[in-house]
């Protein structure tokens, strides 16, 4: 038996340490929360994606009375990119959350399904996507790649060769 280890490096910034670009994208993710449809959870999530063209694409969580029919903010935003900007490279995604009912004291870490969905885009565009997660007190956590959020992923290249 061999014991193996995976190390993930990520950056933590105070609000003062953020670049203008990072700070702007975080602000856009907060703006995206305005269109959240979340009457069931009262948990508003916003995602802002920066494309290589400089365009910023927003998405927010969209809930449904039939709960599983809803969709997370990250997937709303990234599928909007896939649908409307299929040839553009996704550089960065900023994610934030808020609630009128309770305090959110930790960064919003994307759910597993969103990580898998975002990984597909990284694979498709053959370039890493950075992730910025907004925490309390202006603190922001940055991951350099979706792979860092989903180590040992399901990623079957052979599926593409099935005819």
Strand partners, 142: 11, 132
- Looking at beta carbons only, is 111 or 127 nearer to ligand THU? 111
Q: Which region, judged by CB under 6 A, interacts with ligand THU, from 8-16, 70-78, 118-126, 139-147?
A: 70-78
Using the rule CB under 6 A, is 74 a contact of ligand THU?
A: yes
Any contact of residue 72 with ligand THU (CB under 6 A)? Answer: yes
Pairing, β 44-51 against β 11-13: unpaired
122 a catalytic residue: no
- Please identify which residue in 22, 23, 33, 61 interacts with ligand THU, judged by CB under 6 A: 61
Does residue 73 touch ligand THU according to CB under 6 A? yes
Ordered strands of the 11-13 beta sheet: 11-13, 140-143, 130-134, 90-98, 44-51, 56-60
Active site residue: 74, 120, 122, 142, which one? 74
The answer to whether 25 and 59 are in contact (CB under 8 A) is no
Residue 116 to residue 110: CA distance in whole angstroms: 10
Residue whose CB is less far from ligand THU, 50 or 114? 114
* Nearer to ligand THU (CB atom), residue 51 or residue 109: 109
Q: Under a CB-based contact definition with an 8 Å cutoff, are residues 32 and 51 in contact?
A: no
Q: Does 26 bind ligand THU (CB under 6 A)?
A: no
What's the distance, CA 104 to chain centroid? 17
Give the active site residues. Answer: 74
Name the residues that contact ligand THU, by CB under 6 A. 38, 41, 43, 45, 61, 63, 70, 72-74, 110-111, 114
């Amino acid at each position: 038996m061999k014991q193996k280890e995976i190390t993930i490096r990520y950056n933590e910034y105070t609000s003062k340490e953020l670049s203008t670009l990072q700070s702007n994208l975080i602000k856009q993710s907060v703006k995206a929360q305005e269109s959240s449809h979340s009457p069931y959870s009262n948990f508003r999530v916003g995602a802002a994606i920066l494309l290589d063209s400089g365009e910023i694409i927003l998405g927010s969580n969209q809930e449904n009375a039939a709960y599983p029919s809803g969709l997370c903010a990250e997937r709303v935003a990234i599928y909007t990119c896939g649908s409307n900007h299929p040839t553009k490279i996704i550089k960065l995604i900023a994610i934030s959350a808020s609630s009128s009912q309770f305090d959110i004291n930790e960064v919003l870490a994307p759910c597993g399904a969103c990580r898998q969905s975002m990984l597909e885009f990284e694979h498709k565009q053959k370039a890493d996507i950075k992730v910025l997660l907004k925490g309390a007190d202006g603190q922001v956590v940055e991951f350099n790649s979706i792979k860092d959020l989903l180590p040992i992923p399901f990623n079957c290249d052979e599926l593409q060769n099935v005819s």
